[in-house]
Structure 1
Amino acid sequence: MAMLMSLQAFGIDSMLPALGQIAAEMGAEGNQRQYVIGAYFLGGGVGAFFPGAFADRFGRRPVLALALVSYITLSLACSLVTNFDLLVALRLVQGVLCAGLSVVPLAMVRDHVGGDKMARLMSLIMMIFLLVPIIAPAIGQGIMYLFGWRAIFGAMAIVGSIAATWAWLRLPETLKEEDRQDIRAKTILSNMGKAIFARQSIGYVIGAALVFGSLFGFLNSSQQLIAETFGQGDYFALIFGGAVLGMVASNFTNSRIVEKFGARRVSHTALLAFIGVSAVLVWRSFDAPYVLWEFIVLMSCAMAALGFVGANFSSIAMQDFQHIAGSASSGQTALRMMTGAILGAFIGSLYDGTPLPLAYSMLACGLLGLVVVLFSERGKLFRRLQSPLPRAGMPPR
């Protein structure tokens, strides 16, 4: 599961060091270079509406196979283009067709476990998944220096082929026969509506979209921030990895503590911590010249807080939807990704040579995220996650 989800991260983070060269070679101006990342995010959000319904009808493996073939083929296509607009268009299509790599693994995990156990398993998956943003920029930078930026897309195709072979040989089908759903628009929309708009889930879906939208904003503008604001473009991979390292540590920690303290208690505490760190970042962003180590420490702390938020929010939002896990994962992932992608693109477009727009955006997203979580929790934080009610005809667990 971690390897499949990591393909998405590799397709984004390995490209970050190359954005400057892509912009220079293809004539992209100003913040336009961010479209290479933003288009992929947006495509992933739009595309996420579809894989879950097909995975609930035909099984998880066929949908994953389509996503993997699309990932490999479109990576090779991107390596050949010479026009910036066409590159952005291909990245958009790639995001749409590869959305199953984000949707189906979550559904497969929910096929097996729920509640705090799901949060623990998702934390372990996310811990491995998040190693990719640490090493992918270094890999991309090395490939770019040796073979040029186009070879990064070739590396994506190679990694995708390895993952596809492994999944085909080792990954079993997890959809139970009794959980297969009909491919009918009314059924699909009804299942998605239940998973998205139920009061107990919507706050966590929107809350995750808001806080991770600020993370996407950092991803979109990170190359410019590190290379232009702090003048350390040659060390981009190392600095970016340092900022993300806190998220890896927090996911490991979450996997060890979440069953003891509960997904709600851990994630609510982390959300409040994210708001506090963001407020400090706003305060420090007023003082020029900016200190790189201070910025990285604060960003790493903010990323660490998000590490406790991501897996736990997803698990809470999916808690009551085991029998429609594919559609639930599709609807929730689509809303998270689309909102996050649009928000991230907007935050990235605000880049003005200082960290201040990013800092303000992180604080605003954290506060709004707290509001929607309070809505789902009816104003009460830190409650334990309850086991889902049994389905009709099934004994209580």
Structure 2
Amino acid sequence: MPPLGTAAYLPALPQAEAEVGTYIGSIQLTLTAFIIGMALGQLALGPLSDRLGRRPLLLAGIIAFVAASAGLAFAPTLEVMIALRVVQGFAAASGMVLGRAIVSDVASGEQAAKTMSIIMAAGVVVPALAPLLGAGVLAFAQWRTIFLVLAGLGALVGVWVLLRVPETLPREARGAGRPARPAGNGAVQSSLPRFILFVLIVALSFLSMYAYVSAAPLVFQQVHGFSPTGYAVAGAVLSFVMGGVGFLGTRILGRSTRFGVITPMRAVTLGAGMLFVGAALVALAVMLGAAAGWLIAALAVAVAPIPILQGSASALAMDVSPFKAGASSAIIGATMSAFGAAAPPIVGMLGADARPMAAVMGGAAVLALVAALVAGRRASAPVDAAAR
């Protein structure tokens, strides 16, 4: 729901601007409203699900998403659209924040990391496909029909959840305090410092990715002379690289190699290292004024590990968190949103070429690698008796 709600609507912005915009660029406020709604939804629904359960709030969120999407198809003014987009974003957040919490309820360690990697991979592939969905709708209908399509897709998700997703948080585990995990499920000692480190790793990798996303239109179209179609194709290729590596990560985790078993912690360290190498290659390509093909190759190296890095770090954060799963998921999601929202203004303030993108990606990659190394060292250190 979140990536479709954001990206499927993008091809319709010019038509929507012409019909309901009150001034130039006003329709962009509907995108901002959706993102604000998602951030608020994660902060509210995550902790609330620790007390009320996952399934009721997930179903309520899907119903609200369907209703808001249908309402947007008939919104008469920009003000009504903005209000409904906030509601739509708030509702869509239920899938993000409760999805992570449900995974944490039923899995930990390697299995949770595999599942989180699939979630993260889908989160980068769907935005690449969503504009194609929107463009396909516009080929046969007017722009408001996109919201009816989103309502229909949301209804299908609701039926699937109703039939296939049970309640994963027992009544006895609800309320204040984190419930103890059963012995032998791969859980680890709760630790606030390690939780913070893993959350930072997720957020910094998200910052690195959004530095590329926010700068890509300018870099490809103005610096390298790509057409809008060429830019869209390049972006889709990089998204599918991320998605492919994310899905591949589910096959690699737990495998024995000549370097040892690929544990979630090792996947985080290796992913952060690859992100750093890729960011260095991007910086080198930018400094040397390399052709667009070399820059795309460097970006592919940089963004490829992001889903498995985020998936493994998210799973580890949920495992070591001193908070309950819903609250932990809300903290992860809100921090990601904050770091992602910071990328466009930071890149914009640093200049109007490819160098700001390379600088922000590089800085975020360095910090993510440092956090991964510190987290890995803390994981290998013996637990102090007093901490127990």
Shorter-chain TM-score above 0.5: yes
Give 2:354's aligned residue. 355
State the 1:201 CA deviation.
0.7
Which is worse superposed, 70-79 or 265-274? 70-79
Work out whether residues 269 and 373 of structure 2, in 8 Å CA contact, stay in contact via their aligned partners in 1: no
Pick one of 112, 136, 139 that aligns with 2:130.
136
In the aligned structure 2, how far is the partner of 1:376 from the partner of 1:56?
Answer: 27
The one-letter code sitting in structure 2 at the alignment partner of 1:295 is L
Matched, 1:11 2:5: yes
Inter-partner Cα distance in structure 1 for 2:150 and 2:64: 12
Counterparts of 1:305 and 1:37, CA distance in 2: 28
**Counterpart mapping for 1:276-287 below 5 A:** 276-286=277-287
Question: 1:168/1:130 Cα in 2 relative to 1: closer, same or farther (>3 Å)?
Answer: same
1:119 maps onto 2:113 in alignment: yes
| 1:365-380 matched pairs, under 5 angstroms | 365-377=364-376, 380=377
More deviation, 120-129/204-213: 120-129
Distance 1:205 1:249, change over 3 A: same
Map of 2:325 onto structure 1: 325
- Give the one of 222, 237, 240 matched to 1:245: 240
Q: Secondary structure at the match of 1:50?
A: helix
Provide the residue aligned with 1:77 in structure 2: 71
Q: Indicate the residue corresponding to 2:250 in structure 1.
A: 255
Given that residues 37 and 87 in structure 2 are in contact (C-alpha distance below 8 angstroms), is that contact kept between their aligned partners in structure 1? Answer: yes
Distance 1:295 1:170, change over 3 A: same
Q: Give 1:221 deviation, angstroms.
A: 5.0
**Counterpart in the other structure of 1:214:** 208
Give me the whole-angstrom Cα distance separating, in 2, the residues matched to 1:106 and 1:386: 28
Cα distance, 1:154–1:217 mapped onto 2, change above 3 Å: farther
Whole-Å Cα distance in 1 between the matches of residues 51 and 262 of structure 2? Answer: 36
State the distance in 1 between where 2:230 and 2:190 align. Answer: 41
Partner of 1:309, secondary structure, is: helix
Deviations 1:240-275 (A, max 9, x none): 211111111211221122223111112112112212
1: CA distance between counterparts of 2:111 and 2:137? 39
Is the 1:48–1:96 Cα contact (8 Å) retained in structure 2? yes
Query: Which residue identity is paired with 1:248?
Result: G
* 1:196–1:331 CA contact under 8 A, matched in 2: no
Separation in 2 of the partners of 1:374 and 1:29? Answer: 47
Q: Could you list the per-position Cα deviations for residues 207-262 of structure 1 after superposition, in whole angstroms to 9, with x for gaps in the alignment?
A: 21122023234444555555555432134543321111111121122112222311
Cα separation, 1, equivalents of 2:30 and 2:355? 23
| AA aligned opposite 1:211 | S
- Structure 1 letter corresponding to 2:309: V
RMSD: 3.5
Letter in 1 for 2:150: M
| Aligned 8 A contact 2:53 2:169 in 1 | yes
Task: Please give the TM-score of this superposition, normalised by the length of structure 2.
Answer: 0.81
**Amino acid in structure 2 at the alignment position of 1:326:** G
Q: Which residue of 1 aligns with 2:293?
A: 293
TM-superposed deviation, 1:199: 0.3
* Cα deviation, residue 374, structure 1: 4.4
Shift of 1:353: 5.2
Contact 2:190 2:320 in 1 (8 A): no
Q: Which amino acid aligns with 1:177?
A: R
Instruction: Provide closer, same or farther for how the CA distance between residues 263 and 301 of structure 1 changes in structure 2, counting only shifts above 3 A.
Output: same
In structure 1, what residue type is equivalent to 2:281?
V
Give structure 1 stretches of 5+ with no counterpart.
Answer: 1-6, 189-194, 393-397
1:274 maps to 275
Give me the whole-angstrom Cα distance separating, in 2, the residues matched to 1:46 and 1:145.
34
Give the SS at the match of 1:354. coil
SS of residue paired to 1:47: helix
Q: For 1:342 and 1:134, how far apart are their aligned partners in 2?
A: 19
Deviation of the 1:113 alpha carbon: 1.1
CA displacement at 1:341 relative to structure 2: 3.7
Q: Please give the per-residue CA displacement for 1:113-149, whole angstroms capped at 9, x wherever unaligned.
A: 1012211222234444543233222222222343344
Give 1:312 shift.
0.6
User: Are the equivalent residues in 1 in contact too, given 2:2–2:96 (CA < 8 A)?
Assistant: yes
Structure-2 residue corresponding to 1:307: 307
Instruction: Tell me, yes or no, if the aligned pair for 2:190 and 2:321 is still in contact at 8 Å.
Output: no
Deviates more, 1:364-373 or 1:49-58: 364-373
Q: Which residue of 2 aligns with 1:192?
A: none
Identity %: 25
Question: What residue in structure 2 maps to residue 335 of structure 1?
Answer: 335
Per-residue CA deviation, residues 51-107 of structure 1 (Å, 9 max, x unaligned), is 122222222111101211222222233344466566455434432333221111111
> Pick from 145, 163, 166: which aligns with 1:172?
166
Structure 2 match to 1:3 = none
Residues 129, 345 of structure 1: CA spacing in aligned structure 2 closer, same or farther, 3 A cutoff?
closer
The equivalent of 1:99 in structure 2 is 93
| Secondary structure of 1:146's aligned partner | coil
User: How many residues of Structure 1 are paired with residues of Structure 2 in the alignment?
Assistant: 367
User: Whose Rg is larger?
Assistant: 2
Q: Once structures 1 and 2 are overlaid, which stretch shifts more, 163-172 or 51-60?
A: 51-60
Partner residue, 2:345: 346
SS in structure 1 at match of 2:43: coil
* Alignment check: 8 A CA contact 1:42 1:342 kept: no
Consecutive unaligned residues of structure 2, counting only runs of 5 or more, are 179-188, 255-260
Structure 1 residues 195-206: aligned runs within 5 Å: 198-206=192-200
TM-score by length of 1: 0.79
| Pair 349,40 (structure 1): closer, same or farther in 2 beyond 3 Å | farther
Q: Is the 8 A contact 1:111 1:322 kept in 2?
A: no
> How far is the alpha carbon of 1:110 from its aligned partner?
1.2
